[in-house]
Amino acid sequence: MAKIESLDEESPETDERQEDDRQLTYADYLHLDQLLGAQQPRSRPVHHDELLFIIQHQTSELWLKLILHELISARDGFRNDQIPLALKRLARVKHIQHTLADQWSILATLTPSEYLQFRDFLATSSGFQSYQYRAVEFILGNKDAKLITGFDHDEQASAMLAALLNSPSLYDEFLHHLSRQGYPIPTAVLNRDPTLPYVADDRLLPTFKIIYTDPQQHWAAYETCEELIDIEDNFQLWRFRHLKTVERTIGHKVGTGGSSGVDFLHKALDRTFFPELYAVRTILEPAGRRDG
């Protein structure tokens, strides 16, 4: 007869895990040796302010990683009609966005003369090359297949961007959710090619007008629309703070990666993720006029 282990007997694997847990330190858990060793200034002699520049961008990438994590989960929430879950994720994203925007005030303490002491050592590296930033824009609907080719040298980045390019955006999934709840969403919108950037469609305005005309009756949809607006507002604030920080640091110089710098950032302010949620405000009418 086979020996049956008692349920209260610990297996060797459990013993090993518990032993490892007892030896786990704060530094081990957070891999602080790798994290704190990742700041490698390139200037020679090392300029004091380069450490600020490196940490600013490294922490931004960590926050972008968490934003992606939360937005993907929020998108899944819309897909599964789990609106409370999606709203929870979006609420966290909004707090992260505030932190990212506030970080620009730290980098803004870097004066032009200080930055020029090490700028040439950045060579062709640029924040324009951040694949996680591109990924955030992709999941929010601002997609551009051509941008993926810029990451051909990075298999992980290319795979992430390709997956987001070929899957519905956060807004796409929200519109599908509204359709399943009985709101009139045009078939052409529901069946659109998800690899293309989202383009405003006026045929959605009557639907959002219904929601905004009677928020109490359509509270779940109304609250979600406003959360999405908050996400976009915060994103635009981050873009604006980025622009002003760059402007006060390098003026209108060309970016290290070859972008047009401030001029490029100005153009980015015109991009929108959820155009109908802004456009509906133009067509709303006062309650008295509706009743009359």
CB-CB neighbours of 139 under 10 Å: 26
The answer to whether 282 is annotated as binding is: no
Q: Rounded to whole angstroms, what are the CA distances from 247 to 111, 155, 238, 265? A: 11, 33, 14, 10
57 is in an annotated binding site: yes
Annotated binding-site residue? 242: yes
Residue 204 DSSP code: G
Contact 107, 53 (CB under 8 A): yes
Residue 240: CB atoms within 10 A of its CB come to 16
Cα separation, 162 vs 285, whole angstroms: 42
Is 119 annotated in a binding site? The answer is yes
The answer to whether the peptide bond before residue 275 is cis (omega within 30 degrees of 0) is no
The annotation status of 83 as a binding-site residue, yes or no, is no
- Residue 256 marked as a ligand binder: yes
- Contact in structure between 201 and 276 (CB atoms under 8 Å): yes
* 149 known member of a binding site: no
User: In Å, how far are 127, 143, 147, 197 from 259, measured between CA atoms?
Assistant: 10, 19, 13, 21
CB 207 within 8 A of CB 176: no
* Joined tokens for residue 45: 């002699």
Query: 3-class DSSP state for residue 57?
Result: helix
Residue 278's SS3 state is: helix
Q: Measured between alpha carbons, how far is residue 83 from residues 24, 200, 209, 226, 229 in Å?
A: 38, 23, 20, 13, 16
55 is in an annotated binding site: yes
Could you list the residues known to form a binding site, using ranges: 53-57, 115, 119, 242, 256
Could you list the residues known to form a binding site for substrate, using ranges: 53-57, 115, 119, 256
Could you list the residues known to form a binding site for heme, using ranges: 242
